[in-house]
Amino acid sequence: MDQTAAHRLVFAMLDADGDGTVSREEYMARTRNVALAMGLKEDDQLVITARTLGERAWASMDADRDGKMTFDEYTAWAGAEAFDTVCAPVLGALFDLADADQDGALDLCEFTALRTALNNPATNAEAAFAALDTNGDGRISRDDYLASIRAHVVGEGSPMGRALYSRPLSDIPA
Ligand SMILES: [Ca+2]
Ligand SMILES: [Ca+2]
Ligand SMILES: [Ca+2]
């Protein structure tokens, strides 16, 4: 999978209503959806942190500040530097919302809740979990989670990143 194809998968996940652009509302709903799924209140410190980082990320992504992000805007922005400085903190904060027992790792139940709340296909949650849980201990650490998404976004074509966003692996051309 090349980098543009990888970006299309991420963009499709962000564009929750499928109208071809990501609105600010759509983007900010991600934090709200994870908080709701995990039963966290809006004034929970972890939720406030995730929302603050999300707002910062949105300001960076919506280059022309019209409240919408097109695919061109997204793909021009996305990359290793944007991931490290902007995306990773947001994704880490969302991970922390899903990490109900706060042990720094997600089990299958927590992982599935996070994926579903973030509009990833729920159908292959177990396959994605297995791809990410490389040592097979039934947990996915925060670092491994972020590293796998990073590999996907920067176009390293990691099978873990592919499993994170995609439909069953067999549907995706190598
Ligand atoms: Ca949309
Ligand atoms: Ca825009
Ligand atoms: Ca946990």
Q: How far apart are the first and last CA of the chain?
A: 6
Q: Give 108-167 pLDDT, tens digit per residue.
A: 999 999 999 998 877 788 888 998 898 899 999 999 999 988 988 887 766 566 666 655
How many whole angstroms from 124 Cα to the centroid of ligand 3? 20
Give distance in angstroms: CA of 152 to centre of ligand 1.
Answer: 22
Give the C-alpha separation, 158 to 143, whole Å.
15
pTM summary value: 0.88
- Cβ pair 124, 160 in contact under 8 A: no
- For residue 147, how far is its CA from the centre of ligand 3 (angstroms)? 18
Residue 172 CB neighbours (<10 A): 15
- Say how far apart CA 28 and CA 17 lie, in whole Å: 14
